[in-house]
Structure 1
Amino acid sequence: MIVVALGGGLGALARYGLWHVLPPPPGHFPLATFTANVLGCVLIGVLMVLITEVWSAHRLVRPFLGVGILGGFTTFSTYAVEFHELLRSGLVLGAVGYLTVTLLCALVAVILGVWGTRLGANLVRKSEAS
């Protein structure tokens, strides 16, 4: 689907820009990938609430924004490669820490994105009702 490809290209460009802002020094915590994955997870939580509970979205919004842009922005394949590189360089504790912290933060990020968006949407509804 063309909207997924276009969105994926935009998301990958955003991740590439983030990688240049936070370049990963060899053998250190890969901050750019971590940031992209956690931020992307927050935004996925926000997006899913907005397009399923708050707005009546066009059928192509989810594939373009969710699968395309946010799928291209997040990079769990790079996360796996960076984990492997940390292991290969002998930084076992750092690799396991990176693996664990990223996974936990990504899951919490989705939950916070969903929770915060629902809270905000409820506040807006209440203010509109009064």
Structure 2
Amino acid sequence: MNDRKFFEEYRTGETRETTGRTITESDIVLHAGQTGDFYPHHMDVEWCKTQPFGQRLAHGTLIFSVAIGMTAGTINEESLTYGYDRLRFLRPVFIGDTIRVKVTITDKRPHRQPDKGMVVEGVEVVNQHGQPVMVCEHLLLVNRK
């Protein structure tokens, strides 16, 4: 779906939320193959049994990728992703955990290009227990009217 939303139309405090997505063993194996990250934390069931969490963890980069993809339902023809700041992994995500994402507009500010503005989205990923597992800021470069 496409939408045209200019810098002036964003409102601090606006939110949107996604539905859930369950992280599977296949997600972890595919991500390991794509990235080359075959660390035992993600791949070795027996080794993980000897560790504090007792089970395999999803890659932080997998959770970041999936979560951001979950928020990308609408294409705004007036904005581009400028980057991500303050990325933190707060809790592990395990096979079978279900994540959902809440996005909140936290800031709007001028940009050095006068025909654009910067919109900051706070991204919070929570598990099925409502516990935050990842946070970051998504920076959008948005055209002005």
TM value normalised by structure 1? 0.32
More helix by share: 1
* Larger relative contact order, structure 1 or 2 (CA cutoff 8 Å, min sep 6): 1
Higher strand share: 2
